[in-house]
Every structure is written in structure tokens, then in C-alpha cells.
Amino acid sequence: MHHLSRISLFLILSLLIQETLLGQKFVKDADKLALQYFERNEFEKANVYFEDLFERNPGAWYNYYYKSLLGAKEYGKAEKITKRLLKQNKSNVFLYVYLGKVYRLQGDVKKEKEFYTKSIKELEAVQPYLDNLTSVLKEEQLYDYAIEAYNKGRRATPLYPYFYERAELYKLKNDLVGMINEYLDALEFRESEIQTVQAQLQNSLGYDDEEGGIKNPLLKQELQKRIQKNPQKIILVEFLIFIQKQQKDFEGAFIQSKALDKRLQEDGQRLYELARICKSNSQWDIARRCYEYVIAKGPDHIYYDAAQIDVLEVEYLYLTQQPQPETAELLLLEKKLTAANQKYKQPPLNQQLLKDLASLKAYYLNKTDETIGLLEDYISQSGLEPGVKAEYKLMLGDIYLIKGEIWEASLLYSQVEKSFKYEAIGNDAKYRNAKLSYYAGDFAWAKTQADVLKGSTSKLIANDALELSLVITDAIGIDTNDLALKLFSSAELMILQHRYADAIARMDSINLLFSNNTLGDDIYYKKAHVYFSLHKYAEAAEMYKNIIEYYPNDLYGDDAQFKLAELYENELNDKEKAKQTYQEVLTKYPGSIYSVEARKRFRTLRGDNLNN
């Protein structure tokens, strides 16, 4: 009897296990079938399986079953299962939103809104429940209700007011003003949020458009409104200055920075930093005014000496970028630089002063002998860092070159090359030696050196070396007659010496003397460079057009196409021609290094929204 009982018990257990396995197989197969029908929008068939799956595990299958019921327009069942889940857990207030959707689909707008509102009213405003509700509201594009939900959360947790979450909702609503003000509220709430706010606004307002990101004019407008209401809020003014710098409104940044410096009784640092930004953007007048403001604070202030030196560099840059600077102005600047160089005798304070003074004397006042003496005295100082000494040796070599003392120049370049054989400055010296050989008419040696430098780690030197090698190869080729190239290389030296009229005349003589020369595109390209330096933009444009017409597939074809577009855009103020010329870079030279930039500028001129 005992033995039979054990057999019976074994059979019963076996049957139970089989039944369980069969049930599991049914659930697994039902799962697959339900989802297959659901994906194919065959909702009536899917619901046959979803109903049983929901009964077995309501939490896991509700979303699918609910959506499938709506797809089958079985609104009563959708309402029923939603209320059933709500009854089980009233904390899941997002289910009221799903109920509201059921009523919306039935055309009951009043009841729909009632349940959306109820979802917020019944919400326990702690973050997990709030996140669940707002996620569903966003999914249903009910952004205003989601904002209301966050308002309730804000009242419940005033130390975490949900600024960033609300900002995202305003963005989804395409309400940029609302979004901006949420971020500005975050900044006023806690000033340490400045970095996050800047990054969020940059992302939310886009990067590439000309008025995207921090450059968006709405941001500045909203910020200025706040400053007018609350001018004592310093963080807002600092943020405005940051935006003005980004938007290149340097005049506005100067006014605000100066006012803030006075109000906070600061040391001029804001103005000094702004001056450096203005200088890098060629905003000479505002840079000068910034430096003068700092200098006016007196010699006891920390930025006084640096401002004294930097303001002279601004004067130098402004004056030497004029097409034909007045001699009287050059002499006055020389006097100022000389006085400052005597006052600030020790490196590193006088390094930039000395460079500007040497360049002014040599390239603009034809005082090469004075310049050589000045640089030799500086280089002979004891204690000068090797890298700094090498830099000034290269500069001294350049002065000897423009004076015509080629071997003195070569000696200095060779010294630097030998001392810094594996460094960028050594490669620079090697390239200058190659170019010097080119000026001297020793083209074979110049090409040999240039070919070595094509593998330089410095991209700039590698590109220059490649160009020099190609010019020599193209001009001489299989013909050993190098007279035309000698005239051209000597014209290049004249450009370096700022003897522009002589250089143009020398290049014009090449075509007269050597009708079959292969330097046509090189001559036009160098002439364009000269005309641009003289601010003769129409003449420069004609040179580029000649290259495009007669030498489109030669070395400077894509360069000429892109630079002509830049001239139209920036100097000749013909946006339509600029747009067309940028487009031609893309169609004629799709593999050009200028392609990416040309495409960006073309789209900007066309008015594309580059954020989309």
C-alpha cells in the first residue's frame, strides 16, 4: 500500500509538471503571436492573446493591450482595464492620461480634460511619480499639462524647481522665449549654474546657424529685459557680456564690462581680457579703448604694464594692415615702441615689443641696418631661452634676406635648423633655407629641400613645401631653361620686401620675354595677393577670375575659386555672387580642402537653417 501511494504521488506530480510546462509553452507562443499581430496592426487577432496575457500579468502587458484595444476601437475595454489598474495602485496617476485619451478618441472633450487635470490633482509630487506622469504627457504631446505637473513639483520641492525639465517642454512647444526664461530662472536661482545654463542654451538654440546657440537674438533680448528690471543682479550682466562676446557685439561688451568694473571696483581684468578678444578679431578701436581704460587705473594696478605693451601691438597691427600707411604715423609709432622697448628691457616683457619694432623699421621704414643691430644686441644677451633666441635668429635671417644678404640669412637659418633638427622651429628654418635657395635661383637644391619637408609634422610647413616643389617642377619641367622662374622668384622676394610696384612690373615682364612660360597661374595668384594687400579688391578678383578661366585645373584652381567667393562675400559685398561662387567650389572641385567650408558658407548665404 505504501509503495502504491508513492507511485500515485509520482504520477500526480508528473501531470502537474506537464500541465505547467504546457501552460508556459502556451504563454510563450501567445506572446509571440500577439506581438506579431500587433506589429501588423491586426489588433482584433492580437487582442485574443493579449486578453489572456494581461490577466496573467497585468503590469507587464497593459501598454500593449491598451494600445491594441484603441487600435481595434474597443474603447470600453480600454477604459475598463485602465480603471482596473488604477484601482490596484492609485499612485500610478499617469493612467488618468490614458483614460483621457480614451475619451478624446470618443469625442468627449470635457471628460478628456477632466482626467488630464485629475492626473495632476491626484499626483503625489515626488520625483519618480512626477517623472512617470510627465513622460506620458510628453508622449501624448500634452506639454501644458506637463508644465502644470512640474509646477506642482516645484511647490512641493522648492529646492529643486525643475527648471531644466520645464525648459525642455517649452522647447518641445517651440516656445523659445519660455525655454530661455526657464534657463535664466535657473541662473538666478543658483548662480553656480552658469556653466550648465550656457551649455544647455547653446545646445537648445542650435550650433551651426549664424544666429544659432548663444548668438540667437531672443536670448539677448530676454536677458536685457531682466537686467532692466533688476540691474543689481551681477550674474545677469556677466552672462550678457559673455553673450555679447559670442555675438561679436564688442561695443556692447565694452560698455557693460566697464560699468561692471566700476561698480565692483575691480582691477581691470575684465577689460584686459576683452581687449585680447577684440585684438584677435581685428577690432582695433575697441581693443585700444579697453587697454586705455586699464592704463588709466595707474601703474600700481596688476594689468598696467601688460596693457601698455599690448596697446602698442594693437597700434602696430592696425597701422600695418592699412594699404599704404602714412609715414608720419609710422614714425610716431616707432618712437612709442622705442620708448617702451627701453622701459621694458627684460624678457619676456619686451619680446613682442621688439618684434613689432624690428618689423616696423625693416619692412615699413627701410631701416634694415638699425633693425639688424637691434636684433643682434637682443640675441647676444646671456640667459635668453634657446627657443626664444632661435625665433629671433629666424627674424634676423629674414631681415638679412630682404636686405639682399642671402648668405648671412642662410647662416642663421642653418644654425636654427641644426639646433632644433627634430622640432617644428627647425623645420621652419629648413623651409626658409629652401625658399632662400629658390629666391637665389638655385631651384634644384630648393626642390630637394622642399621634397624632404613635404613629410613635416607641421601641416602648414608641409603644404608650403609641397607648393614650392610643384611651382619649381611646373615652371621648369623637362626644359632646363629656368630664366622665367628666376624672374618670378625675384618678384616674390620683392613682395616680401614690400616693393609691390616693382614686383608687378617684374611679373608682367615674364610674359613679354617668355611667351611660352608655364607660370601663368602663379603670376595671377601672386598678383592677387599683392592687390589684396593694397586693398585693391576688384583687381584681386580679376586675377582670380583669370585663373578660373584659363588655368582651372592647375595648382591654384580651387584656391582661386574659394578666395574669389570670399572677396565677393567680405570685401565686395555681393552676397549673390559669393553664394554662386561658393557653389562652384563644390561642383568644380568636390575633393578640394575648401569643400566643407564652401558648403557651410553657401548654405548660410542661401538662408538655410543649419540646425535642421
Q: Is the dihedral of CA 455, 490, 522, 282 positive or negative?
A: positive
- Predicted pLDDT of residue 209: 52
Rounded CA separation 133/330 (Å): 71
Q: Which residues, at least 6 apart from 560, have a Cβ–Cβ distance to it below 8 Å?
A: 521, 524, 525, 528, 543, 544, 545, 547, 548
Report DSSP letters for 90-134, one per residue: TT-THHHHHHHHHHHHTT-HHHHHHHHHHHHHT---SHHHHHHHH
Q: Give the CA distances from residue 47 to residues 29, 33, 34, 159, 591, in Å, rounded to whole numbers and listed in that order.
A: 14, 10, 7, 46, 57
On the question of pLDDT at 125 being above 90, the answer is no
Given this model, what pLDDT does residue 207 score? 52
231/606 Cα distance (integer angstroms): 39
| 56, 24 contact by CB (below 8 A) | no
pLDDT tens-digit series, residues 250-273? 999 999 999 999 999 999 999 999
Confidence of residue 30 (pLDDT cuts 50, 70, 90): confident
Domain assignments of the chain as residue spans, ordered by start: 248-321, 519-612
Q: Could you tell me what percentage of the chain is helix, strand and coil, using 3-state DSSP and rounding each to the nearest 5?
A: 75, 0, 25
The CA-to-CA distance between both ends of the chain, in Å, stands at 83
Q: Residue 211's pLDDT is what? A: 66
Reading the block at residue 337, the C-alpha cell is 615702441
Place of cell 500610478: 92
Per-residue model confidence as pLDDT tens digits over 271-281: 999 999 999 99
- Element spanning 549, H or E: helix 537-550
Determine the Cα angle at 56 with ends 50 and 60, to 5°: 70
Average pLDDT over residues 421-447: 94
Using one digit for the tens of pLDDT, what is the confidence trace for 339-395?
999 999 877 778 899 999 999 999 999 999 999 999 999 999 888 899 999 999 999
Q: What would the pLDDT profile of 313-322 be if each residue is shown by its tens digit?
A: 999 999 998 8
Q: Which residue has the cell 631653361?
A: 481
Of the two residues 324 and 466, the one the predictor is more confident about is: 466
% of the chain with per-residue pLDDT over 90:
77
Residue 2 has pLDDT above 70, yes or no: no
pTM score: 0.74
Q: Identity (one letter) of the amino acid at 605?
A: L
Query: 12 falls in which pLDDT band (50, 70, 90)?
Result: very low
Per residue in 548-606, pLDDT (tens digit) is: 999 999 989 999 999 999 999 999 999 999 999 999 999 999 989 999 999 999 998 88
**pLDDT reading at 22 higher than 50:** no
DSSP 400-430: HHHHT-HHHHHHHHHHHHHHTTTSHHHHHHH
Q: What is the enclosing helix (H) or strand (E) of 548?
A: helix 537-550
Q: Mean pLDDT across the stretch 508-534?
A: 93
Q: What is the DSSP letter of 232?
A: T
Rounded Cα–Cα distance for residues 557 and 525 (Å): 10
Give 467-476 pLDDT, tens digit per residue: 999 999 988 8
93 vs 130: CA distance, rounded Å: 9
Q: What single string gives the DSSP state of each residue in 365-391?
A: S--HHHHHHHHHHHHT-TT--HHHHHH
Cβ-based neighbours of 124, under 8 Å, separated by 6 or more: 91, 93
Residue for cell digits 644677451?
381
Sign of the CA dihedral with 559 first, then 562, 566, and 567 last: positive
Give the SS3 label for residue 33: helix
Task: Please list, in sequence order, all residues whose beta carbon lies within 8 angstroms of the beta carbon of residue 238, skipping any fewer than 6 positions away.
Answer: 194, 260
How many helices (H) and strands (E) are present in the chain, helices listed first? Answer: 32, 0
- 3-class secondary-structure state, position 609: coil
Please say if the pLDDT value at position 94 is more than 70: yes
Please count the residues of the chain.
Answer: 612
Percent of all residues in the chain with a pLDDT value above 70, rounded to a whole number: 93
Residue 525 to residues 257, 528, 529, 539, 546: CA-CA distances in angstroms?
A: 44, 5, 6, 12, 9
Assigned CATH topology for domain 519-612: 1.25.40
